[in-house]
Amino acid sequence: MSIKSFFNFFKTKTEEDKRLISFINLMTGAKPFNLNIYKLALKHSSVAEKTPNQSFKLSNERLEYLGDAILGAIIAEYLYKKYPYKDEGFLTEIRSRIVNRESLNNLSRKIGLADLVEFEGQKYARTYQSMAGDALEAFIGAVFLDKGFYFCKKFVLKRLIQPHLDIEKIVQTNLNFKSMLIEYAQRENKEVEFVLVDEKNNKGTTIFTVEVMLGGESVGSGMGQNKKKAEQAAAEKAFANLQIKKD
């Protein structure tokens, strides 16, 4: 920690700052060196501020990009060592299941991080479906910048993954709802179609809405930040609506 950072840490803190410091300490096992970077990690693009040179808006999106890469590397190494006799396809699939948006959204809510995100009004919460998971990736990026890679790695594995995710259950569960729905349709001799019904841009974020048609009837719809995610969400909803049992 630099001398400037040391003295800045002990400046008078607001009650909100103190609550955030307590959360960071509880989650990571250490108080932050640079509190501002964690504040930025919790700032959604809907409340972003212009940078001094007006080149881009200041939100958690850059930290999200960094955290996504760091998290992917940590999980990749973890799985590589945990499953020494599994091939690349298996490792890639399991990593994808661990870091997919639904998994990260759920994990962010479980640890209470989602409740700390600053965004524009509750009425937009449905639109910002990936907000909780995005904030978790940004938070991981903040930990990496504040404490370094090895501290961040320990935080991710010891305080996020191992306590909250059952890796063996993830391995044994097929979460590709689209593939499973296609297989179901083939067994039932019905045609399945994924139809893009809406595409909206909200403050720089594009949200796709896909509807699943099975035998000419709508059986579910879902939203996502790309067509693939929207199709998966729609297929999962169709599974629930049709009460199809997963293998």
The two beta strands, 217-224 and 57-58, are: unpaired
∠ Cα 59 62 67 (to 5°): 120
Vertex 231, ends 226 and 235: CA angle to 5°?
Answer: 155
What does DSSP assign to residue 11? Answer: S
Question: 212 — phi, psi (to 5°)?
Answer: -100, 125
User: Which tokens in the block code for residue 227?
Assistant: 């067509």
Task: Report how far residue 120's alpha carbon sits from residue 128's, in angstroms, rounded to the nearest whole number.
Answer: 10
Tell the residue number behind the tokens 């992917």, with chain if given.
Answer: 72
Catalytic residues: 68, 137
Alpha helices in 44-160 (DSSP H): 61-82, 88-99, 101-110, 131-147, 149-154
DSSP category for residue 13: -
Tokens of 223: 């939203």
Q: Output the furthest CA–CA distance in the chain (Å, rounded).
A: 70
Tokens coding 84 = 């020494």
